[in-house]
Structure 1
Amino acid sequence: MTNTPVPTTPDSSDPAVDGTDGVLDAGTFDRIKEPRAENRLPLGDGTWHQLARQYVWVQLISSGIIAVLVVAATLVLTLVLGQMWAWIPGGIMTVIMVWTIAITPRQARSYGYQLRQDDLVFRRGILWQRVVAVPYGRMQLVDITHGPLDRGFGIAQLKLVTAAATTGVTIPGLRQEAAERLRDTLVDVAETRRTGL
């Protein structure tokens, strides 16, 4: 018995799926970062696509702005208004923001998505790992959003909405062109795989 692929179904020979056309993988990291632990969630087989490198800069700038605002508010409260208690929450928030800035590059490399025969698999996380498989037939909405900073760096977020809210996935940091290509591919495939809701 031979398996004949359906033309609109993602497979490894489809350039839009495996990235051979260069759109999904242009400007991304070269490989996905895996945790070193023996009990990590495995990547499995297939082609993993990653986030755009600009995503790191957007996250660093956003976190840096928040850190500066926290330090400024803490200084105003303590030095100008004499509220010495502000050092405690201000110091905690500053440490959290510095830690966030420090781990952002490694964290961004842990994100990845894979287009398989029947579903899209999304993974993220080093310490707290999450792997979600979203069946194409259960997708109800594919949404692209981007804020001003995202637009400045040419990236966007792609959000997949399903009937079950817990299986929804947001893939951040895709190049605008890659997000549009992925959206079109997922909509085309979802139409052929629509299941009764």
Structure 2
Amino acid sequence: MSEPPRTVVDALEPWPDTVAWRPVSSKLIVIELINLAVWLAVLIAGLSVGWALGGQILWPIGITAVVLLGAWRALVAARAVRAWGYAERDKDLLVRHGLLVRHLSIVPYARMQYVDVTAGPLERAFGLATVQLHTAAAASDARIPGLPPEEASRLRDRLTALGEDRAEGL
């Protein structure tokens, strides 16, 4: 009797093709761009004041560098948001993000302590929320931003119910 062929998993490819990834809302791109614009405005204003008071040539060079870095970050923002995704499996939740450095968090339902749903003023204005998973591991970065409130509530309720069911079996 022969064994079925095994699927080879590459540790350097953190986005398994064997799961159905769910993306976050594209509205998150607009929120990221607004946050970037605010930071750029503050930095450029500070550099402009320094230029007005000091009058040296380094200030406009700093302003140019901030504008160029801001433009590059704006271009990367859309790809960074599209890199976010999550997948619900039988025993765990997978959360992925990152472009240059890819992160894959696997959170077993039985290890979840509680689930937060948060929405700041900007997120609420765009009808989005963030689901944050808390486990016993202090370094857990399992959060899913950019979800519609209905999906965030559904995911919170499902993860809480699955976490309770799995914890009872321990």
On whether the aligned pair clears a TM of 0.5, the verdict is yes
Partner of 2:43: 70
Is 1:128 the counterpart of 2:101 in the alignment?
yes
The two structures, once aligned, show a CA RMSD in angstroms of 2.1
Work out the CA distance in 1 between the residues paired with 2:97 and 2:61.
32
Is 1:82 the counterpart of 2:62 in the alignment?
no
The runs of 5 or more residues in structure 2 that have no matched partner are: 1-11
* Aligned with residue 111 of structure 2, among 138, 143, 163: 138
Partner of 1:183: 156
- Contact in 2 for aligned 1:138/1:195 (Cα 8 Å): no
- Contact in 1 for aligned 2:15/2:104 (Cα 8 Å): no
Is 1:193 the counterpart of 2:166 in the alignment?
yes
Partner of 1:27: none
Residue identity matched to 2:133: L
- Contact in 2 for aligned 1:134/1:168 (Cα 8 Å): no
Residue identity matched to 1:52: S
The runs of 5 or more residues in structure 1 that have no matched partner are: 1-38
Work out the CA distance in 2 between the residues paired with 1:177 and 1:139.
21
Is 1:104 the counterpart of 2:104 in the alignment?
no
* Aligned with residue 156 of structure 1, among 102, 121, 129: 129
- TM-score normalised by structure 1 residue count: 0.73
How far apart are residue 89 of structure 1 and its match? 5.1
* Aligned with residue 48 of structure 1, among 15, 18, 21: 21
Work out the CA distance in 2 between the residues paired with 1:196 and 1:87.
63
Work out the CA distance in 2 between the residues paired with 1:88 and 1:130.
35
- SS of 2:83's partner is coil
- By relative contact order (CA 8 Å, sep 6+), the higher-ranking structure is 1
- Contact in 1 for aligned 2:93/2:106 (Cα 8 Å): yes
Partner of 1:172: 145
Work out the CA distance in 1 between the residues paired with 2:63 and 2:168.
51
Residue identity matched to 2:85: G
How far apart are residue 126 of structure 1 and its match? 1.8
Work out the CA distance in 2 between the residues paired with 1:97 and 1:140.
38
Partner of 2:4: none
Residue identity matched to 1:122: V
Identity of aligned residues (%): 35
- SS of 1:100's partner is helix
